[in-house]
Structure 1
Amino acid sequence: MMNLSQKDVSLGEAHGSIDTTQRKGPWWRQLFVFFGPAYLVSVGYMDPGNWATDLAGGSRFGYSLLWVLLMSNVIAILLQNLAARLGIVRGRDLAQANREVYPAYINIPLYILAEIAIAACDLAEVLGMAIGIELLTGLPLAYGVCITVLDTFLLLFLQRLGMRRMEAFIVGLIAVVGLSFLVEIILARPAAGDILTGFVPVLHGKEALYIAIGIIGATVMPHNLYLHSALVQTRKIGQGAEHIRRALRINFLDSAVALNLAFLVNAAILILAATVFFKTGKTDVASIKEAHRLLPMLGTQLAPKLFAIALIASGQSSTLTGTLAGQIVMEGYLQLRINPWVRRLMTRLLAIIPAVIVIILFGEKEVDDLLVLSQVILSVQLGFAVIPLIHFVSDKATMGAFTIRPIIKLLAWGAALLLLYLNVKLVIEEAVPVMAATGHPGWKVLITLGSLGAAALLLYIGLHPWIERQVRHKTLQLHPQPDHLQDWTLPSFRHVAVALDFSEHDEKLLAYAVGQGGAAGRYLLIHVVESASTHLLGRETDDFETRKDQERLDRYGAILQEKGLQSHTVLGFRHRSREIARIIREQQADMLVIGSHGHTGLKDLLYGETVNAVRHELKIPVLVVSL
């Protein structure tokens, strides 16, 4: 299950998998090779968690908050480009950079906060998809929430197809969302002049300010910064400053196009709410379900169906990228890689369990409050991702000539302070009254301690470059410098074990084994019997299959001896990986040759993961032969 290799790169299985160094073909085709990472990031800016604030803003204040959406989009483009810069120039994602710079007692809470943010984001996406399924099919919300666990297998399938096909699938979902709202806008027929007035900065009272805070607070999400800094590393770029500058320029264009498309989707939701609800006097529409119920006012049943389809596509695309962000955070902070289906299932269950509990105990009327809570949790995490990011791309020691310019640094800190202020305000206005209403003193103590701890952590990471003039740069690379390659000693293997599965591949495995041990080697031939009897009797089994397997194993040994090679055979019983490891330890073999059939994901559940399980049990070299 666990794979601790390739810790020094982000998204190891896809790192540098898309070559951008080939300059064949027209210029637009070269650009297309770079395009993709920002589209995966952009889905986080139009996920179901953003829909409630857009609907509330449009229904209550018409088009007047469009300028807030535009400002949020400008901030998003700025920060996402900083994340992309970090990945391109330093070859580090944000989690890896944090691990290099901050001590463990800082990185542990940063990791926990990042995981909480990803779970909160996934909660919004689960609820959004479930609501979309309910609106489209009538399936009860609790069942819809449970169904969303199935997209675990969709992610596995997409990862098997490769990064470009995954990007194409996500872009397809974005296209579904965009086209759905384009049709909605055409049906609504808003006045272009009225829309333009919405880009004039104005706030109509305290309630408009509160909605504006919600829109901005739900726009930039912390997991997107981790995600973007890793995804740009899936592109292999050439060596040298000019190649890096080219990659930075094209990624800026990629981000600008993708995030402006996300802005158009959010603007379309707000415009739709303003045209259909605000213009008709229905200014209290704030929930997704209520908006769907009132959309037939456009005079067609197509509008609510498209709304539900867009909601499902939005939730599905966001949840896939959220899982990638979770993988990046875990690998970067903990240097730990686990199977994608395990990672996906963990994240999904953390979202599904609270959603099902709330729906069962309190009913579907509390779902909108749960959506708001997920956005509040995301808001709390933002400063812990943005502040380190700005520090990293401002550091001349690590960024060199690619350090951000003073004007960009000023804009970045201004955006960070604005987001921090608005998010703190949102948390205070949303979370504190809810907790205080419980009347339990334990909650007040918990809130106070949590607030003080978060403030202290935020202050530390904000002042860290000034606290420690010499920033500690602990490398994540596992490969030592090649200073003494001339001193190596060639290994020799005298007792080579071979794990045989009695298939047409046995001859290949034996050939590889002899290639390692040579004529002077001694060969241990292993086969594990997994018949029904072995699960009951273990080594005491004496059934027909066991006898035949021993005969075949002895025949292999005799063939090797006929060729002048030393060999001996041992049968194992019941548990394949455990028995192979046990036999090798008992017989003191100094190398193992084993075959790999290349199955992963769901097939690992069916057939087991013999290679990985055996490899982690042994301290000797393991040669894995692809069959």
Structure 2
Amino acid sequence: MKNIFKIGPGTLVTAAFIGPGTVTVCTLAGVQFGYSLLWALALSIVACIVLQEMSARLGIVTQQGLSEVLKSQFDNKIVRWILITLVLSAIFIGNAAYEAGNISGGVLGLSTILGSPIVKIGAISINYMSLIIGVIAFVLLYIGNYKILERSLIALVLLMSVAFIITAIVTKPDLSLLFKGFVPDFSADKILTIVGLIGTTVVPYNLFLHASIVSEKWKSKEELPEARKDTIVAIVLGGLVSMAIIIAGAAIQQTEVHNAADLAKGLEPVFGAMAKYVLSMGLFAAGITSAITAPLAAAYVVKGCLGWKDGLKSKSFRSVWMFILFLGILFSSLGIKSIVIIRFAQIANGLLLPIIAIFLLWVMNQKNILGNFANSLKQNVLGFLIVLITCFLGIRGIWKVIENM
């Protein structure tokens, strides 16, 4: 029984993507487009499994993180620094946006219970709840002793996830419409939401994080089947929760979502008037857990890229996560609606994903470091298709933004 309920690296990856972004983007997808984007989420789940399996395999075979392996493959200093700059730029931009979304998710939850988070000081508007959540994340990261609190918060996130699954069943969706939702549709008005769904499921920094943490659990190549099972089961379960959120969102009888109370309407068939409190606590918990993970992951990536040997409590390591946390607090305090920030963060991740996926795919074909565990033809075809699709959607998404300017 202990082995069944033991949390593995795959579960931590899933916990990272079941955050405020998933709840918000999936609910918006359901409200605006019904079941018609379930196919995009199914594609995201497959892409997540394929890429995270590569990341886990790399970590177990090399006992190193993705950034360390990437760096070791280039002898030419100029090429190496160009590569490091590209990786760090993608991680910094993505994680700063993601951190702003995480903190905004926590604010979205709290503001439903405590009221407006905006305080005006002269001509300046300050979101004080962003500062509160930022300070909590800072203290937990600085002392490094947040395991007990993290488990409690994950329990609240799980409660929210189960609530959405039950709601999706209780709303009795039209099965014929549900199955039609798995037919691909690339309509222009849906492109940014599709990119957001991919960005909230296949989180770029998770590819770095997964490769780094699997080596703590598995030391032998013979344990790869167990790692694959852990990855697939965890991501599929997370994907089912995301689908349940879309289905629950499709049952909401309105076309606009402005706050957590609107998001919570998807849970009303089960929880009634208490729905907004269940969702609010879940969003707050998801926001805090993700607000801890994103800066930490960025610091691990920088540590690997720059070859720092210092510990996790060194000034250099702490300076990285402090910077990401500061940017997250800053962007989430600007008076922009939380839902807008969260949605932007997922779209930014979706646009940056192809860059990281290309690096990962290239590394997974280096037989000099992976030997017989390098990518097979089937794995390369799947990986290449994912890169092509995400590039296509990214270009369409950027073009859509330019058209609307």
Q: Could you tell me the TM-score, scaled by structure 1's length?
A: 0.56
CA gap of 1:210–1:122, structure 2 versus 1, over 3 A, is closer
How far has the Cα of 1:342 moved from its partner? 4.6
Secondary structure at 1:301's aligned position in 2?
Answer: helix
Correspondence for 2:36 among 43, 64, 68: 64
CA gap of 1:58–1:195, structure 2 versus 1, over 3 A, is same
CA gap of 1:429–1:126, structure 2 versus 1, over 3 A, is same
How far has the Cα of 1:134 moved from its partner? 0.3
Secondary structure at 2:392's aligned position in 1?
Answer: helix
Instruction: Show the counterpart of 1:190.
Output: 172
Cα contact 2:248–2:267 (8 A) shared by 1: no
Q: Deviations over 1:80-130 (max 9, x none)?
A: 010111110011211112221241233123213212211111111011111
**Higher share of residues assigned helix:** 2
State how far apart, in whole Å, the 1-side matches of 2:157 and 2:261 are.
23
State how far apart, in whole Å, the 2-side matches of 1:427 and 1:63 are.
24
CA gap of 1:419–1:288, structure 2 versus 1, over 3 A, is farther
Correspondence for 2:197 among 212, 215, 227: 215
Letter in 1 for 2:107: A
CA gap of 1:166–1:40, structure 2 versus 1, over 3 A, is farther
CA gap of 1:211–1:110, structure 2 versus 1, over 3 A, is closer
Secondary structure at 2:97's aligned position in 1?
Answer: helix
State how far apart, in whole Å, the 1-side matches of 2:149 and 2:264 are.
34
Instruction: Show the counterpart of 2:132.
Output: 147
State how far apart, in whole Å, the 2-side matches of 1:95 and 1:208 are.
34
| Moved >4 Å (runs of 4+) | 28-33, 165-171, 293-299, 339-343
Correspondence for 2:285 among 313, 326, 334: 313
How far has the Cα of 1:385 moved from its partner? 1.2
- Counterparts in 2 of 1:143-292, with a 5 A limit? 143-149=128-134, 150-156=136-142, 159-160=144-145, 168=151, 171-185=154-168, 188-191=170-173, 193=175, 196-203=178-185, 205-237=187-219, 243-246=220-223, 248-277=224-253, 282=254, 284-289=255-260, 291-292=262-263
The alignment-based identity, stated in percent, is 23
CA gap of 1:293–1:268, structure 2 versus 1, over 3 A, is closer
Q: Deviations over 1:430-457 (max 9, x none)?
A: 2x357xx5xxxxxxxxxxxxxxxxxxxx
CA gap of 1:400–1:166, structure 2 versus 1, over 3 A, is farther
Instruction: Show the counterpart of 1:470.
Output: none
Cα contact 1:190–1:271 (8 A) shared by 2: no
How far has the Cα of 1:168 moved from its partner? 4.6
How far has the Cα of 1:295 moved from its partner? 5.4
How far has the Cα of 1:143 moved from its partner? 1.7
State how far apart, in whole Å, the 1-side matches of 2:71 and 2:63 are.
14
Instruction: Show the counterpart of 1:385.
Output: 356
How far has the Cα of 1:30 moved from its partner? 5.6
Cα contact 1:376–1:427 (8 A) shared by 2: no
- Counterparts in 2 of 1:589-608, with a 5 A limit? none
Instruction: Show the counterpart of 1:48.
Output: 20
Worse overlay, 314-323 or 267-276: 314-323
Instruction: Show the counterpart of 2:298.
Output: 326
How far has the Cα of 1:192 moved from its partner? 6.2
Cα contact 1:180–1:310 (8 A) shared by 2: no
Q: Could you tell me the TM-score, scaled by structure 2's length?
A: 0.85
Letter in 2 for 1:138: G
State how far apart, in whole Å, the 2-side matches of 1:331 and 1:267 are.
36
How far has the Cα of 1:63 moved from its partner? 1.8
The number of residue pairs the alignment matches comes to 385
Cα contact 2:26–2:197 (8 A) shared by 1: yes
Letter in 2 for 1:354: F
Instruction: Show the counterpart of 1:125.
Output: 102
State how far apart, in whole Å, the 2-side matches of 1:48 and 1:374 are.
11
CA gap of 1:198–1:259, structure 2 versus 1, over 3 A, is farther
Correspondence for 1:112 among 72, 76, 89: 89
Stretches of structure 2 that go unaligned for 5 or more consecutive residues are 75-79, 119-126
Correspondence for 2:370 among 387, 392, 399: 399
Instruction: Show the counterpart of 2:276.
Output: 304
How far has the Cα of 1:232 moved from its partner? 0.4
Correspondence for 2:53 among 81, 99, 119: 81
Letter in 2 for 1:401: N
State how far apart, in whole Å, the 1-side matches of 2:397 and 2:205 are.
19
Instruction: Show the counterpart of 2:77.
Output: none
Cα contact 2:16–2:290 (8 A) shared by 1: yes
Cα contact 1:395–1:403 (8 A) shared by 2: yes
CA gap of 1:297–1:331, structure 2 versus 1, over 3 A, is closer
Cα contact 1:132–1:312 (8 A) shared by 2: yes
Cα contact 1:177–1:313 (8 A) shared by 2: no
Q: Deviations over 1:21-50 (max 9, x none)?
A: xxxxxxx656766x4211221133222223
Cα contact 1:54–1:269 (8 A) shared by 2: yes
Correspondence for 2:11 among 34, 39, 52: 39
Structure showing greater relative contact order (alpha-carbon pairs closer than 8 Å, 6 or more residues apart): 2
CA gap of 1:411–1:148, structure 2 versus 1, over 3 A, is same
Cα contact 1:115–1:329 (8 A) shared by 2: no
How far has the Cα of 1:253 moved from its partner? 1.1
Letter in 1 for 2:214: V
Q: Deviations over 1:132-185 (max 9, x none)?
A: 11012225151211111212223455x4477xx688556534423323324544
State how far apart, in whole Å, the 2-side matches of 1:406 and 1:218 are.
28
Cα contact 1:40–1:321 (8 A) shared by 2: no
State how far apart, in whole Å, the 1-side matches of 2:240 and 2:305 are.
35
Letter in 2 for 1:420: C
Letter in 2 for 1:300: G
Cα contact 1:91–1:233 (8 A) shared by 2: yes
- Counterparts in 2 of 1:90-109, with a 5 A limit? 90-102=62-74, 103-109=80-86
Instruction: Show the counterpart of 2:124.
Output: none
Instruction: Show the counterpart of 1:412.
Output: 383
Cα contact 2:106–2:283 (8 A) shared by 1: yes
Instruction: Show the counterpart of 1:9.
Output: none
State how far apart, in whole Å, the 1-side matches of 2:203 and 2:267 are.
33
Q: Deviations over 1:178-232 (max 9, x none)?
A: 233245446x522363574255314384424553343224431211101111010
State how far apart, in whole Å, the 2-side matches of 1:204 and 1:424 are.
13
How far has the Cα of 1:352 moved from its partner? 0.8
CA gap of 1:195–1:274, structure 2 versus 1, over 3 A, is same
Cα contact 2:154–2:285 (8 A) shared by 1: no
State how far apart, in whole Å, the 2-side matches of 1:296 and 1:38 are.
27
Cα contact 1:51–1:288 (8 A) shared by 2: no
CA gap of 1:346–1:183, structure 2 versus 1, over 3 A, is same
